[in-house]
Amino acid sequence: MAANVAKNPPQPNSTPQTAEEYFQRAWGYYVKGDQNKAEQDFQQALSVDSQSVEAYYGLGLTLKMQGSLEPALQAFEKAIDLVKAGVMREDRVRATMLRNLAEWHIYSLKSGMDKEEKS
| CA distances for 30 relative to 2, 26, 40, 87, 99, angstroms | 10, 6, 11, 24, 20
Domain with 39, as residue range(s), is 2-118
The radius of gyration of the chain from alpha carbons, rounded to an integer in Å, stands at 14
**Which pLDDT score is estimated for 8?**
57
User: Model confidence over 20-76: pLDDT tens digits?
Assistant: 999 999 999 999 999 999 999 999 999 999 999 999 999 999 999 999 999 999 999
pTM, two decimals, is 0.84
**Amino acid identity, residue 107?**
Y
The number of distinct structural domains making up the chain is 1
98 Cβ partners below 8 Å, 6+ apart?
A: 53, 54, 57, 79, 83, 88
The CATH number for 58's domain is 1.25.40.10
